[in-house]
Amino acid sequence: MSAIVVDHLKKTFRVTVKQPGVVGTLKSLIRPERKDFHAVDDISFKIQEGEFTAFLGPNGAGKTTTIKILTGILNLTSGEVSVLGHDPFKRDNELRRSIALVMGNKQQLWWDLPAWESFIVLKELYGVSEAGFKKRIDALVPALSLEDKLHTQVRKMSLGERMKCELVAALLHSPRVVFLDEPTIGLDVVSQQRIRSFLRDYQKETDCTVVLTSHYMQDVAELCRRVLLIDKGRMVYDGLIEDLAKAHASEKRLRLTFTDQIDETDVTPFGSVVSFSGSDVVLTMPKADSAQKIGQILQSLPVLDITVEEPSVEEIISELMSGSGLPVSRET
Ligand SMILES: Nc1ncnc2c1ncn2[C@@H]1O[C@H](COP(=O)(O)OP(=O)(O)O)[C@@H](O)[C@H]1O
Ligand SMILES: [Mg+2]
């Protein structure tokens, strides 16, 4: 059964257009000019129960907006969405008790309370039984190594500890669908790793449905089988991570070192330049004619060393984003 259905979803914001400069500011104060901004522009997808899906895209792509619609925080402009068969914006209790939302840049725990007291409040709020609560705490707290932190005021915790507590809080009521919006943002590598392995084990054990947005491709590569990629409110890719790699195995990446400095224009005929530093060049080129191109490079340029690499998932994803008109950051 589909846990999440999104059908031709659109979300349009009315925004004020400001002309540049002081005059522009004054004009927009007196007679504000408004226009429609399509934050989510006709996207459709389905997510099956028990799937762990990455929801990716550059900043401003519309990920958070979509998640807010799916969790009933925002209403949609047109189209249809359903989560576990419910319309999220109706916010009925049954659905509220079956979903969870964790936002890396927003907290739901009370700043001045010890984490434990927040958990108790949430237990009451969600109507979790005493036995159920104990069972959840006993499972979640050790899994996140929070035993020593439960009675610490949230404000005194490190960002990583706070995020782990947010996860406990969000999962106390055994939600069947979990939305994680940048849960590892800003965390140190160790905390990221810890949360990542927790999420992997947790999802395996409970078989809940997870939708994850993250800037860290390692999160995605380790956790998710499926990727939804959006850009400027539109769907760019929907499929398995491994197919993403297959589809792009048509690209070869060449790392070249030359005995002398060369000009960037010397290598541009052979592929697209990823990075260039005089005698070190990284090039990508279609796999189909790579053998021929490599032959030509060896003949015409002073090559000291050459290695051929397959692009990583991270690169493939940024490649896809660039295909949709986004700038790809160069390596330099
Ligand atoms: N309440 C709002 N009013 C106007 N524009 C908004 C509002 N919320 C989000 N946006 C705009 O919609 C776009 C998508 O935002 P968001 O969903 O937060 O992107 P993402 O999470 O993918 O970075 C952005 O351009 C953002 O500025
Ligand atoms: Mg966002």
Task: List per-block mean pLDDT (blocks of 10 residues) for the chain, which spans 332 residues.
Answer: 96 87 82 90 97 91 96 97 97 94 91 94 93 96 94 94 95 96 91 93 96 85 90 91 72 90 92 90 88 92 89 70 45 32
The verdict on 135 and 259 lying in the same domain is: no
- Answer yes or no: do 127 and 258 share one domain: no
| Bridge partners of residue 251, in order along the sequence | 286
68 within ligand 1 shell (Cβ under 6 A): no
Residue 293 structural domain: 250-309
Confidence (pLDDT) at 248: 62
110 and 170, same structural domain?
yes
How high is the pLDDT of residue 76? 97
C-beta 65 within 6 A of ligand 1: yes
Could you tell me if residue 24 is inside a domain?
A: no
Question: What CATH number does the domain containing 169 carry?
Answer: 3.40.50.300
Q: Looking at the CA of residue 233, tell me the nearest atom of ligand 1.
A: 14
33 in a structural domain: no
Is residue 103 exposed (0-12), middle (13-18) or buried (19+ Cβ within 10 Å)?
buried
Distance 175 CA to ligand 2 centre (A): 22
Are residues 254 and 197 part of one domain?
Answer: no
The reply to whether ligand 1 has any atom less than 6 angstroms from the CB of 64 is yes
- 23 assigned to some structural domain: no
Q: Which atom of ligand 1 is nearest to the CA of 15?
A: 4
DSSP track, 168-219: HHHHTT--SEEEEESTTTT--HHHHHHHHHHHHHHHHHH--EEEEE-S-HHH
Quote the pLDDT of residue 328. 35
Q: CA 187 to CA 190: how far, in whole Å?
A: 8
Domain boundary among 245, 275, 295: 245
User: Which residue is closest in CA terms to ligand 1's atom 24?
Assistant: 60
How remote is the CA of residue 60 from the centroid of ligand 1, in Å?
A: 6
- Judgement on whether residues 160 and 294 belong to the same structural domain of the protein: no
Q: Are 28 and 35 in contact (CB under 8 A)?
A: no
pLDDT for res 180: 97
Residue nearest to atom 7 of ligand 1 (CA): 13
Q: How confident is the model at residue 244, as a pLDDT?
A: 76
Q: Does residue 97 sit in the same domain as residue 233?
A: yes
Instruction: Mark whether 279 and 260 lie in a shared domain.
Output: yes
Q: Are 116 and 236 found together in one domain?
A: yes
63 CA from centroid of ligand 2 (Å): 5
Same domain (yes/no): 240, 257:
no
Ligand 1 pocket, residue 62 CB under 6 Å: yes
If one counts the domains in the chain, the total is: 2
Whether residue 12 contacts residue 37, with contact meaning beta carbons closer than 8 Å, is answered with: yes
Residue 49 token pair = 């129960």
Q: Specify the residue with its C-alpha closest to ligand 1, atom 3.
A: 13
Residue 38 CA to ligand 1 center (angstroms) comes to: 9
Q: pLDDT at position 323, please?
A: 57
In a shared domain, residues 220 and 113: yes
> What are residue 276's DSSP bridge partners?
281
Q: Strands across the sheet with 177-181, in order?
A: 99-103, 177-181, 209-213, 52-56, 226-231, 234-240
- The predicted pLDDT at position 332 comes to 30
Cα separation of 171 and 169, whole Å? 6
Are 209 and 264 within one domain? no
Taking the CA of residue 230 as reference, the ligand 1 atom at the shortest distance is 22
* CATH number of 284's domain: 3.30.70.1150
The verdict on 285 and 210 lying in the same domain is: no
